[in-house]
Structure 1
Amino acid sequence: MPGGTADPLEARRHRSRRVRAALHARREAIRADARRNRLYRAVVGCAGILVVVVGLVLVPLPGPGWLVVFTGLAVLGSEFSSAQRVKHFGERQLHRWARWVAARSLPTRAALAGGTALVVTGSVWGWLAWQGLPAWTPEVVTAQLQWVPGLPGA
C-alpha cells in the first residue's frame, strides 16, 4: 500500500467480518439459554409468517409479491429447517420455470407476458370494481380512471 493508505474495500470487508462474528456470538448466547431461544424463535417465526402472508397477498397484484414470499421464507429458514426446504423447493421450481420459458419461441414468450399482464390487469380491475377507489387516491389518478367501466367512484 503506497503512502500507507489502507484499501477501503479491505477495511469494509474486515468490518463486515467483525460484525458477522459478533452477531454469530450473540445468536449462540441466545441459543445457550432455552427461554431466550424459544422467545427468539417465536419472534422470528411470527415475523417470517407475517412477511410470507403479506407476500402472498401481493402475488396477484403488480409488484414484488413472490420476492416478498421468498424473503419471508428466508427469515423463517434462518431458524426453521422446514421453511428452508420449502424455500429451496420454490427456488428450484422458479429456475425450472425460467428455463422452460427461455426455451420457448419469442411469440410464445410474448403470449405468456401478455397473458400475465391480462391476469394482473383483470385482478386489479376486479378489486377496484369490488372495493372502489380508495379515498386517498390522488385526483390526477381518479381523473385518468374516469373512462374505465365498472369502477365506482371513478
Structure 2
Amino acid sequence: MDTRRHTSRPGLAKRVACGVGGGLLLVLGVVLLVLPGPGLLLVLAGLLVLANGFPAAQKFVDPVERRAMKAAEESVASPLRMVFSIGTGVVLIAAGVVWWVVPGLPLGGWPTGCSLILSGLILLGLLVVSYRRVRSQREAGSEPTTSTPSSA
C-alpha cells in the first residue's frame, strides 16, 4: 500500500481557499493596525487560516497570539485603562453612526459606518472577554501575564 497519499499535506483546493481567505484577512488586519479597527485580531485570524493550508505559517501564529493576549490583558489592567478602552469603543460606534448618516463626509456612507460600528462592537466584546479572563486568572491565584513560573 502506498503511504505517500496519506500525508497531512492539505489538498490544492484547501490551500487555495486558505491562501486567499487568510491573505485577505492578513492584509485587512495590517491596514487596520493603523486605521481604527481590530487589526491585531485580524492579523491573528489571517495567520490561523493560512496555517490551516500552509503548516509552515504556524510558526508566525504563536508570537502574534502572545502579543494579542498581552494587549488584551493590558487593556483591562487598571480602571483608567478600562474607562479609556470602553470610551474608545463607544466613540468608534458613534463615529460609525455619524459616518453612515451624515452625507458629504469624506469616505462617508454605509461601508465606512458599518466598519466603524463593527470595530467598536468587537472592541467592547474583546474587553469583556479580556476582563473575564484576567479576573478568573487572578481568582485562581496566577498572574494574568504569560510569565514562566520559577521552580522553588
**Structure with higher RCO (Cα < 8 A, 6+ apart):** 2
TM norm structure 2: 0.44
Q: What TM-score, normalized by structure 1, do the two folds share?
A: 0.44
Larger Rg: 1
